[in-house]
Structure 1
Amino acid sequence: MSCPHCQPGDSRTATIVDSPTVLLVGNPNVGKSTLFNRLTRAKQEVRNAPGTTVELSTGGWSIDGSSVTVIDSPGTYSLLARSADEKFVTDLLTGGVAEYSPDLVVAVLDAAALSRSLYLLGQLSKAGHPVVVALSMVDVARGENAEVDAKTMSAILGVPVVEINPRNGEGLDELTDAIRTGLQVKPRIIGPDAKACTCVEGGECCELSTTPPSDAATLAEILADADDVFTWVEVVSSRVGGERPRVETTFSDRADRILLHPIAGIAVLLGVLWTLFELTTSVVAPIMEWTEGFVGGPVTSVANGLMGAVGLGGTWVESLLLDGVLAGMGVVLSFVPLMFIMFFALALLEDSGYLARAALLADRLMRAIGLDGRAVLPLIVGFGCNVPALAATKGLPNSAHRTVTALLIPLTSCAARLTVYILIAATFFPNHAGTVVFGMYLGSVLLVIAGGLLLKVIFKDESVEDPLLLVLPAYQKPRVLTVATSAARRAYAFLKGAGVTIVVMLTLMWGLMAIPVSGEHEIGDVPVTDSLYAEIAETVAPVFAPAGFDDWHASAALMTGFVAKETVVAALSQSYQVDEPAENSYEDAEGSDLGARMRADFDRTSGGHGGAAALAFLAFILAYTPCVATIAEQRRLLGWKMTAGAFIGQLVLAWLLAVAVFQIGALL
């Protein structure tokens, strides 16, 4: 009896029609995303799946001139969905996401952890899709004396099994042939519910599964009894090899004795976190300043000359272009090197195998706020800069954790706020300025903890309470070129996704400062006191009366703080029309004209409790939206609806915190 799913035919005669879709499915950390990058290269799009916060990567691939859509699904250990990511994978396989319904599934299995991968494959067989198996980590399995017989596995499963190494491209030609053939002949897995028989050349053909389930609920019902799957996994594993007992100690074993040690491991982790923090502050800051200075200097000079050449010099059009659009572009471009370097650093940690160890070490601490250890890196990065910290949440495999972490990051006190802390602390508390600044960072940590506990209740995702399940991959030498390419692609995604939002919002800010309210000045040539910006600040100021700083200078500075926190000091100097004190200097801030005028105004508006009002002002600076770039990145990750909710929530939190600080402080 012939067995078409055992012998798919000659790949050279297969043809592909109707722009098919290929879905990559596999456990986390099996090389699935690396394979996706190899196949699609630059033709990729990363976005949230429809109606979810689950990240979906799609890309274009060409086989013999035919266009193929490749989808990189979230990593999953089971089709019994508990998290939103796992549910989305199940929906993809059962028709719940019609626009991404796959014509062929490429199951990426880990040869070094075969039983775990086969469990998912056994479940996958019940979904009924045509399948091709890509066997990764073959070199790791071979090094552990656990080599898998791919030819025998193919005969047992009834589908093509191809050994690949997506890190260097080995086996991709053979995989392409298998996919080309699979799209034509639709090979099906001989899974746990097939009749017992041997599917080899010339042998009896095994019957396949019954009609595939039509929805995720039906599939879950079918998979509820897993005994047949476990039995099938044991049978297949015993016949194809893999996971043999290992007697020798590997390099990974020796390294983990140090890196997972409760004392030495924590010390190394703290060193890694400190390095990431330094990257977002000391290392990248000069590059960001140079980039923004280049746009504000030579580029602006050229644009200024062009405006003059076409007769628009000195007009509001020139001001709009230079002080609005071009200034916004300078801010956007200044973030690109920061994003690239941060993505590069995180990708190196992941590619080397250390990222999973860091998550394991930090897990107990992060569990207290409803997250797992993998969230510690983005939160620590947030104390350097919130924007790359938000971008780093994309590395979290659980969508609920990604959302919660992205909402908590703005509460981490980024380095840009430090300038404001120093000015206010030195002006109002010259003998205790350092203590005040330390208190702001301590307050930031407490806000993150409180926010995490609250969001833990709001986002009642069952998987949030699950124990951390991690595969500790073998340590490997990072592929610098591949990592750099991936980092550049993600930095470009930030530039394209968040750049427009930043430029538009900064241009709107220019409009507020460029439009006069008295009619005595021209657009674009307006003193700050006569601008729409000052008028709005004057209108908003009474809102802060319960917090003790009912003054338009303070509210105007807070408005400017939406652009970037480091501009608050400059905004105060501009509104008071005095020179800005030296940056990061306690002494200069205390004795400056700006400091004296602020003390006078805060004492007046607070009824003689200027110190309490100053602390309330700092509390508001700490808790409200960090900057326009943060809003843009949140919008890119979470969508406008959730970003708007977070924006309003942060404002309410900041106001309540400021009022509480002032009212309590005024009583002391």
Structure 2
Amino acid sequence: MSIDEDSPALLQIGTRRPVMTAKACCEEAPGNGAGAGAPVVALVGAPNVGKSTLFNALTGSRVTMGNWPGTTVSVSRGTWRTAHDGRSIDMTLIDLPGAYSLDPISPDEALTRELLVDGPADERPDVTVVLADAAHLARSLYIVAQLRERAMKVVVALSMLDVARHRGVDVDTFALSAELGCPVVALDPRRRQGAETLVVAVHDALDAPTPEPRGLRFTPEADLAVLDADLVREDERFSFIDHAVGTGTRDSAEARASLSDKVDRWVTAPVIGPLIFMAVMWAVFQVTTTVAAPLQDGLDALFVGPISDGARTLLAAIGLGGGWVEGLLVDGLVAGVGMLLTFAPLMALMFLLLALLEDSGYMARAAVVTDRMMRSLGLPGRAFLPLVVGFGCNVPAIAATRILPQVRQRILVSLLVPFTSCTARLTVYVLVATTFFGRWAGTVVFAMYLVSILMVVGVGLLLRKTLWRTMGADPLVLDLPPYQVPTARLTASVTWVRLKGFLQTASGIIVATVVVVWALQSLPASQAHSFGEVPVEESVYGVAAQAVTPVFEPTGFAQWQTTSALVVGFVAKEAVISSWAQTYAVDEPEEGADPGTLGERIIADFEKSSDGHPLPAVIAFLVFLLAYTPCVATLAAQKREIGLRWTLFGIALQLAVAWLAAVAVFQIGRMFW
């Protein structure tokens, strides 16, 4: 079910829930902010109203993310540099988790209430800016009504005014401000319009005395209904909202059926909707692999050729050529990190396309499309949101499970997130698919994401029928933002932030992994060789990999170079490629043999390990790569969110599913290929 009506009755859903609490502490809040003594401004609002977009526009690059002290909830915090009446003031801007009201049903919403109303008065924000959707004004004003019942400075910022006008509704900000008893400004966060008006309103609020709480309009009959005091208070809020909306808005013309409504009849339909979603995702992966391929080839030639040759020449000139230093720098760091960096164009293009889908409003429709599937797993529709995040990175996806109201739901989704195919796996998919399937690489990569979805559903149903048999789920209640033309500035900003985060995270992990792998490959397992002058198969790395390899005999890829890369992949999936590059660069070819490219060496190993059935072995390898433990960072996130016992259970579950699925794929596939 999706909400698309300004009905007070809809607002009552979920308001009479048990109130959750969260500890918070403002004096040691995470992030940089504007420093001690600076005014603190909190951004509040429902999901999909543009709150985070406004936060990014106001703070620019001066933003950090971190868990709020005393909680496990991540909060964005940054510096907002303002100028008003000839003076400049740096403010600390906090982007609080999305909330429809101050009656929390999740840890995220509990933190919002704690910081705004329940915490010590001297630790609350100086001004609270509520971002409201002008196209669904009544729904957005519920939290405003609650805040105005308290002595605090509130500013209402209206977004989606263009959508409201398209629907035949004009908003009179002055009349609305008079009814609400607080300043009301209009802005467009996506196009960075109206920020100056917001600056003036916030400065005026800082300089003005704290307003008195609004009086409650109880009737004599309501005063007698002591047992129903909460319900009476809610009815009074709805009356206040209806009066404010009736006074502050007017119909400018006959409302037109919006483009969003017309398109949603198709993209959210029970049958057509999922097919459209799959077609869109296939197009994304096909475009990504096709367009990025020439750029990847160029970067690969650059690292393999001029950069490696230049490094060897430089080392020889300073007397360090031919030794272990050259092995570490050229065969280790240059080969490993260089291979990873060749995937930067692919990741950038992938992030760009996903940012376009998100900014256009389409990705929110995916939650509606998958709601029925989520409920079959005993999960609410909002459980789709952490799983979607997991296709980018499993770590923030596990943190995003905090939006779920029940502990059992959060544990189940945290166990399912590792089966979502993160972008780190994508780099390996593309290398293997391009090597073995050529122009069909995009389709193969898309198929891996379909397999990922099937694994989430299959494992979810298995757990649902065993450990989670008694868990139920509420129907999906979700705001669908209108379709919009993506803005170049916002899309570029989101793409760059994600690409930078990927490179920063991967580079640190990869450098450490490359050094460790090189050291293990240079350390002889016996006294027959010296450090740095040992064949890889006789090194500690090679011997350990060969000891693990027999376990993978039924999967068709029982070659120590392959299994060793999977072991390194426990650290990070990006390290699989760097491990391959290091292994084949260090490994000495047989006398007179052509060492070939990395792809040729991988093909040769799969031919050998599969007894002439390389394609089913490759698919089995990709399935195993998809299903087994994503990375140590994911394990750390799971331990923090669901504890050590469930984390260990998850590792065992992932390895079992990965091995069984890989064996099934190869054993069945070899009958046909």
Q: Would you say same fold, with TM above 0.5?
A: yes
CA distance in 2, matches of 1:375, 1:580: 48
The corresponding residue for 1:59 is 78
Structure 2 counterpart SS, 1:465? coil
Note if 1:409 corresponds to 2:409. Answer: no
Q: Which moved more, 1:171-180 or 1:135-144?
A: 135-144
Structure 2 counterpart SS, 1:115? helix
| Structure 1 residue 662 displacement after superposition | 6.9
CA distance in 2, matches of 1:424, 1:513: 27
The corresponding residue for 1:432 is none
| Structure 1 residue 246 displacement after superposition | 4.8
The corresponding residue for 2:567 is 559
RMSD over aligned Cα atoms: 5.1
Structure 1 counterpart SS, 2:190? coil
Q: Which moved more, 1:347-356 or 1:635-644?
A: 635-644
| Structure 1 residue 614 displacement after superposition | 11
Note if 1:73 corresponds to 2:96. Answer: yes
Provide the aligned length of Structure 1 versus Structure 2. Answer: 599
Is there any run of 5+ residues in structure 1 with no aligned partner, and where?
1-15, 197-220, 426-435, 603-610
The corresponding residue for 1:429 is none
Which of 602, 620, 623 is 2:627 aligned to? 623
Aligned residues of 2:166 and 2:256 also touching (Cα < 8 A): no
Counterpart mapping for 1:272-421 below 5 A: 272-369=280-377, 398=403, 400=410, 403=414, 406-410=417-421, 416=428
| Structure 1 residue 647 displacement after superposition | 8.4
Aligned residues of 1:25 and 1:105 also touching (Cα < 8 A): yes
Counterpart mapping for 1:513-532 below 5 A: 513-532=521-540
1:158 and 1:640, CA in 2 relative to 1: closer, same or farther beyond 3 A?
Answer: closer
1:621 and 1:483, CA in 2 relative to 1: closer, same or farther beyond 3 A?
Answer: closer
Aligned residues of 1:150 and 1:240 also touching (Cα < 8 A): yes
CA distance in 1, matches of 2:59, 2:413: 25
CA distance in 1, matches of 2:130, 2:537: 65
CA distance in 1, matches of 2:340, 2:621: 28
Is there any run of 5+ residues in structure 2 with no aligned partner, and where?
1-34, 220-228, 405-409, 438-443
CA distance in 2, matches of 1:240, 1:593: 71
CA distance in 1, matches of 2:369, 2:300: 38
Matched to 1:69, the amino acid is: T
| Structure 1 residue 36 displacement after superposition | 1.0
Which of 467, 477, 483 is 2:475 aligned to? 467
Which of 502, 505, 515 is 2:513 aligned to? 505
Aligned residues of 1:617 and 1:658 also touching (Cα < 8 A): no
| Structure 1 residue 527 displacement after superposition | 0.7
Aligned residues of 2:76 and 2:94 also touching (Cα < 8 A): yes
| Structure 1 residue 660 displacement after superposition | 9.5
Note if 1:139 corresponds to 2:139. Answer: no
The corresponding residue for 1:488 is 496
Aligned residues of 1:145 and 1:246 also touching (Cα < 8 A): yes
1:117 and 1:556, CA in 2 relative to 1: closer, same or farther beyond 3 A?
Answer: closer
Which of 91, 106, 109 is 1:86 aligned to? 109
Note if 1:255 corresponds to 2:263. Answer: yes
| Structure 1 residue 234 displacement after superposition | 1.7
| Structure 1 residue 623 displacement after superposition | 2.9
Residues 124-171 of structure 1 deviation map (CA, whole Å, 9 limit, x = unaligned): 334643211112222322332221221122222222111112222332
1:133 and 1:41, CA in 2 relative to 1: closer, same or farther beyond 3 A?
Answer: same
1:71 and 1:324, CA in 2 relative to 1: closer, same or farther beyond 3 A?
Answer: farther
Which of 122, 132, 137 is 2:145 aligned to? 122
1:362 and 1:338, CA in 2 relative to 1: closer, same or farther beyond 3 A?
Answer: same
The corresponding residue for 1:40 is 59
1:455 and 1:594, CA in 2 relative to 1: closer, same or farther beyond 3 A?
Answer: closer
The corresponding residue for 2:126 is 103
| Structure 1 residue 174 displacement after superposition | 1.5
The corresponding residue for 2:44 is 25
Structure 2 counterpart SS, 1:105? strand
1:188 and 1:404, CA in 2 relative to 1: closer, same or farther beyond 3 A?
Answer: farther
CA distance in 1, matches of 2:92, 2:448: 49
Structure 2 counterpart SS, 1:70? strand
CA distance in 1, matches of 2:430, 2:497: 31
CA distance in 2, matches of 1:557, 1:92: 47
Aligned residues of 2:51 and 2:95 also touching (Cα < 8 A): yes
Aligned residues of 1:83 and 1:463 also touching (Cα < 8 A): no
CA distance in 1, matches of 2:282, 2:618: 31
1:296 and 1:249, CA in 2 relative to 1: closer, same or farther beyond 3 A?
Answer: same
Structure 2 counterpart SS, 1:81? coil
1:177 and 1:564, CA in 2 relative to 1: closer, same or farther beyond 3 A?
Answer: same
1:358 and 1:560, CA in 2 relative to 1: closer, same or farther beyond 3 A?
Answer: closer
| Structure 1 residue 23 displacement after superposition | 0.8
CA distance in 1, matches of 2:460, 2:386: 14
CA distance in 1, matches of 2:293, 2:182: 53
CA distance in 1, matches of 2:122, 2:499: 28
| Structure 1 residue 119 displacement after superposition | 0.8
1:127 and 1:454, CA in 2 relative to 1: closer, same or farther beyond 3 A?
Answer: farther
Q: Which moved more, 1:545-554 or 1:404-413?
A: 545-554
| Structure 1 residue 261 displacement after superposition | 4.3
Matched to 1:118, the amino acid is: L
Q: Which moved more, 1:314-323 or 1:276-285?
A: 276-285
1:303 and 1:551, CA in 2 relative to 1: closer, same or farther beyond 3 A?
Answer: closer
CA distance in 2, matches of 1:279, 1:547: 31
| Structure 1 residue 443 displacement after superposition | 6.8
CA distance in 2, matches of 1:619, 1:137: 43
| Structure 1 residue 315 displacement after superposition | 2.7
Structure 1 counterpart SS, 2:157? strand
Residues 419-477 of structure 1 deviation map (CA, whole Å, 9 limit, x = unaligned): 8799999xxxxxxxxxx9999998755532233346779999x9993322222333222
1:268 and 1:597, CA in 2 relative to 1: closer, same or farther beyond 3 A?
Answer: closer
| Structure 1 residue 269 displacement after superposition | 2.4
1:161 and 1:246, CA in 2 relative to 1: closer, same or farther beyond 3 A?
Answer: same
Counterpart mapping for 1:198-217 below 5 A: none
CA distance in 2, matches of 1:659, 1:351: 39
| Structure 1 residue 115 displacement after superposition | 0.4
Aligned residues of 1:61 and 1:68 also touching (Cα < 8 A): yes
Q: Which moved more, 1:482-491 or 1:334-343?
A: 334-343
The corresponding residue for 2:235 is 227
CA distance in 1, matches of 2:281, 2:207: 50
Matched to 2:418, the amino acid is: L
The corresponding residue for 2:8 is none
Residues 535-572 of structure 1 deviation map (CA, whole Å, 9 limit, x = unaligned): 32245457779999998667435435555556898869
Aligned residues of 1:620 and 1:655 also touching (Cα < 8 A): no
CA distance in 1, matches of 2:467, 2:210: 40
TM-score calculated relative to the size of structure 1: 0.73
CA distance in 1, matches of 2:643, 2:340: 19
Instruction: Give % identity.
Output: 37
Matched to 1:123, the amino acid is: Q
CA distance in 2, matches of 1:499, 1:542: 32
Q: Which moved more, 1:519-528 or 1:233-242?
A: 519-528
Residues 67-118 of structure 1 deviation map (CA, whole Å, 9 limit, x = unaligned): 2111122222122111232223223324669998422211111111110011
